[in-house]
Structure 1
């Protein structure tokens, strides 16, 4: 078996000339994963294949809509000429660059014109309270840019998204990564919604993010409840020892 390979489903297209590929990973705030999963479901995209690695993560899941869900799946939206690589897990450490480089080479071979990555950026790096995201691109990317500042100089992108950017730069594939500011210590659907809204502008498509926002509000309400419980508990101990 090759170390990384693409396995198409039966009757899946073999040529994606002119398509755009969108992907992300389980990084800060799970922004990339939540955003790509949401796009697949909201746009009712069709599964067309899998990426298989030598050290494939030992986990699968199941849903009524998608059937058996493998770690690395490719979904298609023919109407918008859009592909989403849904990474349900992070590639094994020893083959992360190999995986990213294969995806880049596969994209070039199959006619993909550009790649958009989605990831999270810790909100502590905001320079202004009103900022929502930053971006970083390869030198080959000449497409539209968000109405936002680029990644601060000296700040590092880490993990599989960094490998994807590095390989795209080396091989001349246009790539832009959108990095919404997020809560890095927990899932942040609100940041994922920010990324999708900006991506939709760049692609000139419509994506309703209201379900993501509802999920964000539920999480935030639960956090507030937990904070109040902790405060009440702390206050009780302090009064006990007065």
Structure 2
């Protein structure tokens, strides 16, 4: 149940409101979020960290965003409850914005505006954005690394942390679009340190392994008190099931082709 003393941050109330339902000290923490972009990586990375934290009782829900332009969907959860399109969770020294459904284009700028305004008012240390990058952006497409782009404020304070984590700069000349680009721009306008981390992926697929790799990097970067072994095992099991299905399909295709060839011999 929502507390009577819950606090709301508005960007023209008819569009979007950020609601805090639990007492939380935001000062010095990072906001972390990702969208349903290339490979689904931004969204999945946040989901893996949040869901692992909730299972291990290391994370808690502290708020949500609501407005008249948000996606008309909720996600049914395992216990019969549901998740709103945008929800806030606290895990260690980070505040995660889990974007369950991709915001409409016109709402992404509003979301960037209200999130960065909130970050400045609550003295957030910085904003970390997550996503995917096309593997073809790299000259050497074999085992390309997770890369970053960042504004000057992040560089001045956290560049050494990126180097220690082994994260190089993104290739020159690529374009960043959508919610990540908007939040980077709004954060820079408001003098908030902001960085975007991108895991390499092919186009046209949901890359869960790349999202897991990025989740591990965020865990290391922020020293989050969460174990990702359960997610890793779930992905390993899913890949094994898919491999067996592909083997059966290949076998069935080969057998069908053999039968077809035999029938042609007797026509």
Q: Judge same fold: TM > 0.5, yes or no.
A: yes
Q: For residues 108-123 of structure 1, what are the structure 2 equivalents within 5 Å? A: 108-123=120-135
Residues 209 and 15 (structure 1), Cα distance of their counterparts in 2 relative to 1, 3 Å cut: closer
Q: How many angstroms apart in 1 are the aligned matches of 2:111 and 2:61?
A: 19
Shift of residue 37 of structure 1? 1.5
Q: How many angstroms apart in 2 are the aligned matches of 1:37 and 1:66?
A: 18
Bigger Rg over Cα: 2
Q: Does the Cα contact within 8 Å between 2:90 and 2:96 map onto a contact in 1?
A: yes
TM-score (norm 1): 0.86
1:24 aligned residue: 34
Shift of residue 214 of structure 1? 2.4
Shift of residue 217 of structure 1? 2.4
Residues 51 and 66 (structure 1), Cα distance of their counterparts in 2 relative to 1, 3 Å cut: farther
Residue from 150, 155, 164 that aligns with 1:137: 150
TM-score (norm 2): 0.79
Q: Does the Cα contact within 8 Å between 2:18 and 2:114 map onto a contact in 1?
A: no
Residue from 23, 29, 32 that aligns with 1:13: 23
Q: Does the Cα contact within 8 Å between 2:146 and 2:199 map onto a contact in 1?
A: yes
RMSD: 2.4
Unaligned runs of 5+ in 2: 1-12
Judging by fraction of residues, say which structure has more helix: 2
1:212 aligned residue: 231
Alignment coverage as a number of residue pairs: 238
Q: For residues 1-242 of structure 1, what are the structure 2 equivalents within 5 Å? A: 1-9=13-21, 12-13=22-23, 15-44=25-54, 45-63=59-77, 67-77=81-91, 80-126=92-138, 127=140, 129-141=142-154, 142-143=157-158, 144-145=161-162, 146-229=165-248, 231-232=250-251, 235=254, 240=260
Q: Does the Cα contact within 8 Å between 1:188 and 1:216 map onto a contact in 2?
A: no
